[in-house]
């Protein structure tokens, strides 16, 4: 099935149970699958160890330094004592206060609430341990960088990049229709990615991954001395830390939507293609239009 | 009505958090390998050696940390760690404004020495406005004045087997059963001879305050704050720090932090 056929297919997709089965096609090269699953492990450990590191100073700023005698705070999580003596977790986003008791600021068992930024279930280790958070974070940081390089080189060589990531002009013009189809949960199963998939994976792999790696490096005093230009791009070390956190939030958002799409588009087929490489595409429409 | 909604929302938030928590089985699933000394943790911390090797290749020995302008000093220097040592020896020196203080330089050197604060102040000095990055994540810009450590080392004449400079400090941390554990730190000769590595006695155009490490602290500008020992009592050059305290080269290193803190 070619892209042009998928593109002209504007009809309503029948529920998969009634739809005629299409053929299995080899969709994912082994390196695409391998790097995908390494990233799953990496991002899991990077996220949870990152939240551990964040908890050591749960406050984000804009600029070169942290304002202790002036205010450049963009985001903070802290605990306050209520009038009745109980502890409240307060999250502040650009001056907007939100009560997040139970999750952010104050969390844990009702009878023994803990004062901490992110809760124990969201950090590695579960208890406060900045040193181990860093050890885990930097190890998987290296793995992420290495895997991204392997993916980038292999994707350029095996055509994954030009076929599945770089959108064509035609595809870009079909974007509004693809958005509408996704919104109505009408998924087309072709050999190729839809334009929304291409753009999403392109943004994650070519924008968010490099952004989170480079803002991470901008927090390193060693890298600051070796590549002084890098931290200037991001507007200072504390801004870089804030962007690093923001990129994390976007990646978590991507993860949630990604999993939702896997479930909605047929979890068995999508999982099979990500494990074995083989993907069942829609049957060719018989009624010519 | 609004009260009901609030309660329901709160219930849903707590319930949702609880559900996610159960799903992830709490991340205490990974707590066992997180303890210092566990082979998995020891394996993971090995990545720090790669970080150091790569950073040193990129850095060379001379690359400088960024220096800022006066206008970027927007606040006092935030003190951290110990800020008011109660070691009797220290308190006695503090009584006389450190006029009786002298820095001892020894270990694997041909010419051990002692320097009073006045002697240090009379040596060539370097002043730099730099950003202090704490391992916790915050940063603060301040001006530091002191003697380049390289000048002290030139006078001391390190032996060829001197690989590390160890800073022994006055501040004592509570150490459980053993009573107190003194702060100490170590850097290698590349950082020791770096032009911005100074023994600072001045901060923001005044004498170094007690909270920030008086009478003398080291600045190691290409690494994190915990490498920059305060309240320095004595400098010792060693071949290896394996026999000192916990054997990892520093107070925080003995508690699981990386020896190389360039990241």
The domain locations on chain B are 1-34, 41-255
pLDDT (tens, 9 = 90+) of chain A, 289 residues, equals 344 434 334 344 444 445 578 899 998 889 999 999 999 999 999 999 999 999 999 999 999 999 999 999 999 999 999 999 889 999 999 999 999 999 999 999 888 899 999 999 999 999 999 999 999 999 999 999 999 999 999 999 988 988 889 999 999 999 999 999 988 888 888 888 889 999 999 999 999 999 999 999 999 999 999 999 999 999 999 999 999 999 999 999 999 999 999 999 889 999 999 999 999 998 875 544 4
CB-CB contact of B15 with A36 (8 Å)? no
Nearest Cα residue in chain B from A226: B59
Helix, strand, or coil (residue A88): strand
CB contact under 8 A, B133 and A237: yes
Q: How far apart are the first and last CA of chain A?
A: 17
The residue assigned the tokens 């109660």 is B86
Q: Which of B47, B50, B222 sits opposite A222 (nearest CB)?
A: B222
Nearest Cα residue in chain A from B17: A103
| ∠ CA A5-A181-A27, rounded to 5° | 50
Integer Cα distance of A286 and A18 in angstroms: 14
Q: Which residues in A lie closer than 8 A to residue B13 (C-beta atoms)?
A: 100, 102-103
CB contact under 8 A, B135 and A134: yes
CB-CB contact of B253 with B259 (8 Å)? yes
Backbone angles phi, psi at A144, to 5 degrees: -60, -45
Q: CB within 8 A of B108, min separation 6: which ones?
A: B158, B159, B161, B162, B237, B238, B239
Nearest Cα residue in chain A from B25: A121
The b-or-e profile of B100-134 (16+ CB within 10 A means b, else e) is ebbbebebbbeebbebebeebeeeebbebbbbbbb
- Say what the pLDDT of residue A188 is: 84
Dihedral class, residue A119 (left if φ above 0, else alpha if ψ from -120 to 50, else beta): beta
Backbone angles phi, psi at B111, to 5 degrees: -135, 75
Q: Residues 147 to 206 of B: which have CB under 8 A from any A CB? A: none
Q: From the centroid of its chain, how far is CA A284?
A: 34
Among 3.40.640.10, 1.10.150.530, 1.20.950.20, 1.10.150.110, name the CATH number for the domain at A3-58+127-282: 1.20.950.20
- Say what the pLDDT of residue B25 is: 46
CB-CB contact of B255 with B173 (8 Å)? no
Q: Burial of B209 by CB count in 10 Å (0-12 exposed, 13-18 middle, 19+ buried)?
A: middle
The domain locations on chain A are 3-58+127-282, 67-117
CB contact under 8 A, B74 and A107: no
| Residue-wise pLDDT tens digits, A13-34 | 444 445 578 899 998 889 999 9
CB-CB contact of A74 with A145 (8 Å)? no
Min Cα distance B86 → chain A (Å) is: 26
| Residue-wise pLDDT tens digits, B173-183 | 876 666 788 99
- Say what the pLDDT of residue A110 is: 85
Q: What's the CATH fold of domain B41-255?
A: Sulfite Oxidase; Chain A, domain 2 (3.90.420)
> Token pair for residue A108?
């844990």
| Residue-wise pLDDT tens digits, B4-62 | 444 544 444 444 444 454 445 456 888 988 888 899 999 999 999 999 999 999 998 88
Integer Cα distance of A66 and A71 in angstroms: 8
Q: Which of B17, B24, B255 sits opposite A102 (nearest CB)?
A: B17
Integer Cα distance of A96 and A76 in angstroms: 10
- Say what the pLDDT of residue A111 is: 85
CB-CB contact of B242 with B144 (8 Å)? no
Nearest Cα residue in chain A from B26: A121
Cα-based torsion angle of the residue sequence A56, A62, A63, A65 in order, rounded to the nearest 10 degrees = -30
Integer Cα distance of A246 and A60 in angstroms: 10
CB contact under 8 A, A120 and B44: no
Min Cα distance A112 → chain B (Å) is: 15
Min Cα distance B247 → chain A (Å) is: 17
Alpha helices in A56-192 (DSSP H): 130-158, 160, 169-173, 175-183
Those residues of chain B that have pLDDT short of 70 are: 1-27, 175-178
Q: Which residues in B lie closer than 8 A to residue A61 (C-beta atoms)?
A: 138
- Say what the pLDDT of residue B32 is: 87
CB-CB contact of B181 with B172 (8 Å)? yes
The pTM (predicted TM-score) of the whole model is 0.89
């Amino acid at each position: 099935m070619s892209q042009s056929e998928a593109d002209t297919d504007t009809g309503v997709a029948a529920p998969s149970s009634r739809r005629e089965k299409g053929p299995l096609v080899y969709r994912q090269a082994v390196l695409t699958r391998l790097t995908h699953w390494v990233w799953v492990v990496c991002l899991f450990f990077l996220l949870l160890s990152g939240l551990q590191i964040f908890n050591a100073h749960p406050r984000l700023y804009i600029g070169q330094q942290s304002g202790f005698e002036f205010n450049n705070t963009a985001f903070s999580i802290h605990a306050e004592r209520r009038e009745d003596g109980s502890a409240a977790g307060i999250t502040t986003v650009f001056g907007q206060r939100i009560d997040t008791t139970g999750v952010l600021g104050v969390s844990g068992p009702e009878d023994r609430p803990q004062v901490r930024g992110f809760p124990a279930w969201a950090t590695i280790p579960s208890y406060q341990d900045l040193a181990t958070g860093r050890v885990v974070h930097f190890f998987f940081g290296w793995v992420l960088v290495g895997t991204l390089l392997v993916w980038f080189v292999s994707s350029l060589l095996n055509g994954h990049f030009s076929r599945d990531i770089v959108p064509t002009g035609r595809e870009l013009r079909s974007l509004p229709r693809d958005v509408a189809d996704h919104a109505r949960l009408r998924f087309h199963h072709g050999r190729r990615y839809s334009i929304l998939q291409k753009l999403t994976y392109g943004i994650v792999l070519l924008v968010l991954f490099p952004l989170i790696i480079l803002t991470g490096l901008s927090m390193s005093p060693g890298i600051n001395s070796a590549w002084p230009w890098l931290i200037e791009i991001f507007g200072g070390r504390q801004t870089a830390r804030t962007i690093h956190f923001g990129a994390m939030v976007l990646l978590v958002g991507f993860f949630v939507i990604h999993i939702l799409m896997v479930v909605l588009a047929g979890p068995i087929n999508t999982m099979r293609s990500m494990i074995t490489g083989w993907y069942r595409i829609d049957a060719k429409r018989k009624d010519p239009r | 009505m609004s009260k009901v909604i609030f309660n329901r929302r709160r219930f849903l938030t707590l319930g949702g958090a609880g559900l996610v928590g159960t799903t992830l089985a709490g991340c205490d699933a990974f707590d066992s390998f997180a303890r210092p000394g566990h082979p998995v943790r020891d394996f993971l911390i090995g990545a720090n050696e790669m970080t150091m090797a790569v950073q040193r290749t990129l850095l060379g020995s001379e690359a400088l940390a960024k220096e800022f302008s006066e206008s970027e000093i927007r606040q006092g220097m935030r003190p951290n760690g110990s800020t008011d040592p109660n070691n009797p020896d220290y308190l006695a020196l503090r009584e006389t404004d450190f006029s009786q203080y002298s820095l001892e330089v020894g270990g694997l050197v041909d010419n051990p020495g002692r320097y009073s604060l006045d002697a240090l102040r009379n040596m060539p000095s370097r002043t730099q406005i730099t950003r202090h990055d704490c391992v916790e994540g915050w940063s603060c810009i301040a001006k530091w004045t002191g003697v380049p450590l390289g000048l002290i080392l030139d006078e001391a004449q390190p032996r060829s087997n001197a690989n590390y400079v160890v800073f022994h400090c006055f501040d004592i941390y509570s150490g459980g059963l053993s009573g107190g554990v003194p702060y100490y730190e170590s850097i290698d000769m590349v950082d020791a001879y770096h032009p911005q590595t100074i023994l600072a006695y001045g901060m923001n155009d005044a004498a170094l305050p007690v909270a920030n490490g008086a009478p003398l602290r080291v600045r190691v500008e290409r690494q994190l704050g915990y490498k920059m020992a305060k309240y320095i009592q004595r400098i010792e050059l060693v071949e290896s720090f394996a026999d000192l305290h916990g054997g990892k080269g520093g107070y925080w290193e003995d508690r699981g932090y990386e020896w190389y803190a360039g990241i």
